[in-house]
Amino acid sequence: MHEFIRILKSESWFLVFFRSVLALAVGLLSWPVVIFLIDLYDIYSPILEEDSMQWVIVASALSTLLFLCIIVVSWIRKPSAVDLAIKVEKANPQLHDLLNCAVELQKKSKSQNLTFMENRVLQTTDSKVRSIAWGQGTRPNSLYWVSVILGLCVGAGLAVWGAGQSPVQKAIDSLSAEPGLTVSTSLTGTLSQKEGPPSNEFTRGSDVSIFADIIRGHRGQKKARIEYVTGEETETVDMLETSVIGRFEYVVPAIGEIFKYRVVTPSLVSEWHNVIPYDPPALKSALWDITPPAYLKMDSFEHDGFGYVRVPEGSEISLNLEVEPLPERVDAKLISIDGNLSLENNQIRYTHNFVLEGEWKGHIELYDIDKPERPPIVYDDLVFAPIPDEPPLVEITEPAKDLQLPSDATFLIEVFASDDHGVTDVRMRIEHAGDSEEETIFVDPIEKEKRLTYVFDLGERALAVGDVLTYMALASDNKEPESQLARSEIYFIEVLPPEGNSTDAEGGDMEGETKEIPVRDFINKTKKIIRSTYDAMLESDESKVERLAVALSSDALGLKHEMTKVYDENEGSFPTVDGIDLGELLNEATYHIEQTEIYAGDQMLQESLEPSGKTLRKLVQLYALMQKMQKQKSKGKGKPSENEETAEGEQEPQEQEPGKDPAEQLRELAEDLDKLKEME
């Protein structure tokens, strides 16, 4: 093959390639144009997401078809060697039609032999191949290439832009496994109830909410309509937007028939769903019979339905439940704070009995046994609030204070007792030296309030100076099966010598108490510990009892330290009265209060009362002996000598001096007591 023929064929294929590149640019430009037209159509007539892929395929097919058509035309219209030779001759006039002749002779040589001169022409043309500018006549110029490259770039850019348009995005979303629209149903107004599937069952007459959650909107907007079937027609209603973004709601009021519907958005359509009504189990009556305790002597009464009811504590409550005959198999459950209970089945009647001890709250749930997948029918709560039988109240109204009396004294005690339903028993409790006795002072009939008197005769008991009696009033009510017991405030009687006694322990004559030995202060603190112990024993809360026991132990410890300090400061200086060492009495009282501290610290409150009582008796005995010593000092049985009177007169101002040593004062008191004994 001659060289010029080979070059002409190559230039022909180059021209086909150039046209193919142009076809590609045209194809790229055509695809976004078609997408733009489809997007414009989507604005005015929204395309469904499920149909968008077809539109994108059509757009791609049109662009591809245009590209292929240009390619085919380029192949069909591929220039021949003669055509290219003519163009090359025009670009190279120095050839003087040599190339055209050579091409014609090459074509002629295929059918017949050429002459010498004709072969000479072919050889001459081959020799000038390198001097011919082949591209100037056959290949496109630079403007052509700029246009093609610009077309490719613009086409690629517009293709990227078109990929972000609504139809293409819908087509991509249609391939996603995530749904763009979800539909659910629920009873209207039930915030806590879990939403159900779009096709669901609800009790007849219920208001049903249909929710549509739009995940993918149309062109940035979210709105929904509901289509439902009424007879042979289909109606469309806009759904209401809720407070949740992208959620819409439609309420089917008082559903009575099957509701067939589907949710439609501009780009999404759900399947057809059915909301089916059914007849649930229902209560015909719920009757509660309340029988108060017999001791209250109250009539029985009934409560129909549910709500809030105040009932006497301890009442017997009986539930009589009757359900509608349809459906036939119904299970009734009583859901309450004390557990869930399946009521005993008796066809369409159910019964349940219990005794009200504290506040009771519960509700009834009915289940269709043949349709276990259906939710239960839940009724309103019923609350039984007990009216408590409060413990009785008892108080000692007279004398209502601690007393200091001689061992043969007699006095009158007035007691007031009350209870909301009746007082059955009133007693006086008297404790002495660890022993206790109770005496009933109640007189029939049983009444809500009682005012009683009791004569307290100390002469009936073997008492000595320094003894302490504890007394209180106890009252019981008529509660069954076990009555409630209440006690009054605790009071103390200190047995002292008859001379100069006071009926008021708190405000008695304190002349016998030395300033340095605060016996009365010790006595009052011991009484406080005993009263607090009795109060702590009435508590039922263990944590509170523990706190009170710690406080009692702390008080006892503080009192022990005070008495120990006084004993240490005056050790060896305590006088002896009637053969009794006052210092030893104080030491014994300190020992007993230490036992109280130990018992209280171990929360053994009952056991701590005995050492507390012994402490009080020792202190009262100490107080009585100190008073006796003081009175003997001030009186005496004979007239003292003039010198003694003078000495006593001189000692008075010295005793009143504020800075005198307590031990020195005790020694002086002991010396005065010895002088009085010598005078006797």
- pTM of the complete model beyond 0.75: no
Is residue 365, in this structure, part of any structural domain at all?
yes
Same domain for 165 and 188, yes or no, is no
Phi-psi region of 511 (alpha: psi -120 to 50; beta: other; left: phi over 0): alpha
Q: What CA–CA distance (Å, rounded) separates 170 from 516?
A: 103
362 burial (CB, 10 Å; 0-12 / 13-18 / 19+) is: buried
Which of 499, 528, 558 terminates a domain? The answer is: 499
Region 418-422: mean pLDDT is 89
In order, the DSSP letters of 97-164 are THHHHHHHHHHHTTTS---HHHHHHHHHHHHTGGGS--HHHHS--HHHHHHHHHHHHHHHHHHHHHHT
Answer whether residue 274 shows pLDDT above 70.
yes
pLDDT digits (tens, 9 = 90+) for 474-497: 999 888 888 889 999 999 999 887
**Band of pLDDT at residue 647, cut at 50, 70 and 90:** very low
pLDDT, tens digit (0-9, with 9 covering 90-100), for 343-389: 655 467 778 888 888 899 999 998 888 888 888 888 999 999 998 98
Kindly give, in sequence order, each residue whose CB lies less than 8 Å from that of residue 164, ignoring residues fewer than 6 positions away. none
Residue carrying the six token digits 């009143």:
656
What is d(CA 183, CA 200) in angstroms, rounded to the nearest whole number? 11
Shared domain check, 127 and 12:
yes
Q: Are residues 607 and 529 in the same domain?
A: yes
Q: Residues 380, 404: one domain?
A: no
State the DSSP code for 639.
P
Higher per-residue confidence, 636 vs 45: 45
Which element (helix H / strand E) includes 588?
A: helix 582-601
The reply to whether 23 and 167 lie within a common domain is yes
Tell me, yes or no, whether 662 lies in a domain: no
Does the structure show a pLDDT above 80 at 212? yes
DSSP three-state, residue 24: helix
Angle between helices 142-163 and 3-44 (to 10 degrees): 30
669's CB contacts (< 8 A; 6+ apart) are 514, 575, 629, 633
CB environment 108-145: b (16+ within 10 A), e (fewer): eeeeeeeeeebeebbeebeebeeebebeebbebeeeee
Please enumerate in sequence order all residues whose Cβ is within 8 A of that of 506, keeping only pairs 6 or more positions apart, or say none: 401, 402, 524
Which has the minimum average pLDDT: 11-15, 187-191, 452-456?
Answer: 11-15
Q: Kindly state the tokens that stand for 395.
A: 């108080």
How many domains are there within the chain?
A: 5
Structure tokens at 652: 């008075």
Question: Within its chain, how far is the Cα of 147 from the centroid?
Answer: 72
238 shares a domain with 126 = no
Determine contact, residues 429/440, Cβ cutoff 8 Å: no
Split at pLDDT 50, 70, 90, the class of 26 is confident
Query: Helix 3-44 to helix 49-76 angle, to the nearest 10 degrees?
Result: 160
Give the contacts of 315 (CB within 8 A, at least 6 positions apart).
290, 291, 292, 293, 355, 356, 386
For residue 163, tell me if it sits in a domain: yes
Q: Is residue 655 part of a domain?
A: no
Task: Determine, yes or no, domain membership for 117.
Answer: yes
Q: How confident is the model at residue 500 (pLDDT cuts 50, 70, 90)?
A: very low
The residues with which 360 forms a beta bridge, in sequence order, are 384
| Distance in Å from the first CA to the final CA of the chain | 175
If asked whether residues 159 and 72 sit together in one domain, one would say: yes
Least reliable range by pLDDT among 312-321, 605-614, 661-670: 661-670
Question: Would you call the peptide bond into 518 cis, given omega within 30 degrees of 0 as the criterion?
Answer: no
Tens digit of each residue's pLDDT (9 = 90 or more) over 431-478: 887 788 888 887 678 888 889 999 988 888 888 888 899 999 999 988
Q: Of 57-71, 213-227, 347-361, give the range with the top mean pLDDT.
A: 213-227
300 Cβ contact list (under 8 Å, min separation 6): 289, 290, 291, 292
CA distances from 281 to 129, 206, 210, 368 (A): 105, 14, 24, 6
> Hey, what's the torsion of the CAs at 7, 12, 15, 20, to 10 degrees?
-130
Q: Is 619 exposed, middle or buried (0-12, 13-18, 19+ CB in 10 A)?
A: buried
Are 34 and 112 in the same domain?
Answer: yes
Q: Which of 225, 247, 278 is the last residue of a domain?
A: 278
pLDDT, residue 241, reads: 92
Q: How far is CA 24 from the centre of its chain?
A: 68
Domain housing 269: 178-278
How many CB atoms are closer than 10 A to CB 210?
24
- The whole-angstrom separation of Cα 248 and Cα 253 is 16
Question: For the CA atoms of 509, 513, 514, 517, what is the dihedral angle to 10 degrees?
Answer: -140
* Domain-embedded: residue 125: yes
Task: Please check whether residue 299 is in contact with residue 336, taking contact to mean a CB–CB distance below 8 angstroms.
Answer: no
| Same-domain check for residues 31 and 148 | yes
**pLDDT band, very low/low/confident/very high, at 122 (cuts 50, 70, 90):** low
**CA distance to 122, 308, 319, 509, per residue, from 304 (Å):** 125, 11, 10, 69
Same-domain check for residues 474 and 619: no
Strands of the 316-323 sheet, one edge to the other? 301-304, 283-291, 316-323, 349-355, 344-346
Q: Answer with the residue of higher pLDDT: 66 or 109.
A: 66
Do 348 and 459 belong together in one domain?
Answer: no
459 in Cβ contact with 410 (< 8 Å): yes
DSSP letters for 419-472 = EEEEEEEEEEEEEETTEEEEEE---SSPEEEEEEEEEEEGGGS---TT-EEEEE
Looking up residue 358, the CATH number of its domain turns out to be 2.60.40
Residue 59 lies in a domain: yes
Nearest-CA neighbor of 608 among 544, 543, 505, 535?
535
Residues 204 and 98 both lie in one domain: no
How far is residue 336's CA from residue 144's CA, in Å, rounded to a whole number? 90
Percentage above 70 pLDDT, the chain: 77
Indicate whether 512 belongs to any domain.
no
The pLDDT tens digits of the residues spanning 100-121 come to 566 665 666 666 666 666 566 5
Going by pLDDT thresholds of 50, 70 and 90, the confidence category of residue 89 is low
Q: Give the integer Cα–Cα distance in Å for 563 and 554.
A: 14
Name the CA radius of gyration of the chain, rounded: 59
Contact 111, 103 (CB under 8 A): no
Contact 593, 556 (CB under 8 A): yes
Of the residues 612, 630, 648, which one is the last residue of a structural domain? 630
**Res. 340 pLDDT band, cuts 50 70 90:** confident
Q: How many CA within 13 A on the CB side of residue 159?
A: 17
Give the CATH number of the domain where residue 442 resides: 2.60.40.10
